[in-house]
Amino acid sequence: MKLKTLVLATLLTVTATASYAGNFVQLTNGNGTILSTVNGGIKSGAQNPNADQFHLLVQDATYLAGYEASNPNGFVVASTIDYATHVGNPNNPANIKSTGTLTLLDWRVTTGVDLSPGSKQATVYDFVYQDSADGKLVFATRYLNQVANNEEANFLYRYNFSTTGTYTPQVAWLFSSDNDLRLYEAALTDDHSFNSVVSYNQNVVRQKGDFSVSEGNPWSGLFLVKTDAQYYSLGSKAIGYFQAGEEGQPVVGGFISGFVASATAVPEPQSYALMMAGLSLVGIAARRRKNQGAA
């Protein structure tokens, strides 16, 4: 099913169910040390997307050439995504609000990603969007598990948030294809277990799913992390993934490079070239003055 068809089906479902959901959800530090569902440090979604507090409603989308919604494998790269939020009973159309547009700033893809060593089973898409609703940057991840080997990614991570200042990221998700799995829960932690109480880590956003070809849940939806950071750059540790051994599999994981929040703007390559050229001219001028003084 094409994305726009899926969007229509989702919107029709919204008008037929009494449920409450639908926006970016702010994560918290729990009690400052420990996170749980009791102290609000671990936020949970819901199986029904219309009752899922993390789920955004896609109203329309445009795509980069070659990555259209009709791509049979769902490898879609959306250049713009118009989304809606809803607060209160979505049976009431007044509760559905066209909120903003996510506009693509940058993206990259990493293929042949190992879950267990040598598996080379995943393709990971990494995006940076800007939200017209508030001008904030949104880091987005799609994890595509492509090998039926009974292994599954239970957690995805986005790193490098506390280095950009003191603030709390917000999370959400949306469908890119019919094979996409929802966001189960989210928290500020680097924990790899299924424990109900985990340690707080302000630098890491953990998003839970269950991405397994063997179980029919091969791919994550588009998992979103909104930040207050004004800039982004490439980092050596940007996206993490982990298999927590839920069904007896090995407890393994790793991370890849990608986009991270940055406290300062990173010069473009041409800016580096101009800066180096300027430094060279300054150096030449200094040497000339020194030589003239010696004469």
Q: What integer pLDDT is reported at residue 247 of this predicted model?
A: 80
Q: 16 pLDDT exceeds 50?
A: no
Q: With 80 as the cut, is the pLDDT of residue 99 above it? A: yes
Q: What is the mean pLDDT of residues 41-55?
A: 90
Instruction: Count CB-CB contacts under 10 A for residue 18.
Output: 10
Cβ contact 178:264 at 8 Å: no
Percent of residues, the chain, with pLDDT higher than 70: 77
| Residue 17 confidence class, pLDDT cut points 50, 70, 90 | very low
Confidence class for position 88, pLDDT limits 50, 70, 90: low
Average the pLDDT over each of 86-95, 177-186, 257-266 and give the range with the smallest value. 86-95
Whose CA is closest to 81, among 130, 117, 37, 41?
130
**Cβ 39 vs Cβ 29: under 8 Å:** no
pLDDT of residue 15: 38
pLDDT, one tens digit per residue, over 117-166 is 999 999 999 999 999 999 999 999 999 999 999 999 999 999 987 665 55
Burial of 92: CB neighbours in 10 Å, binned 0-12, 13-18, 19+: exposed
Q: What is the pLDDT of residue 225?
A: 97
Report the pLDDT value the prediction gives residue 253, as an integer from 0 to 100: 94
* Cα–Cα distance for residue pair 238/64, rounded to 1 Å: 23
0.85 surpassed by pTM: no
What average pLDDT score do residues 61-84 get? 82
What average pLDDT does range 179-196 have in this prediction? 94
**10 has a pLDDT exceeding 50:** no
The arithmetic mean of pLDDT across residues 14-20, rounded, is: 42
pLDDT in tens, 204-232: 999 999 999 989 899 999 999 999 888 99
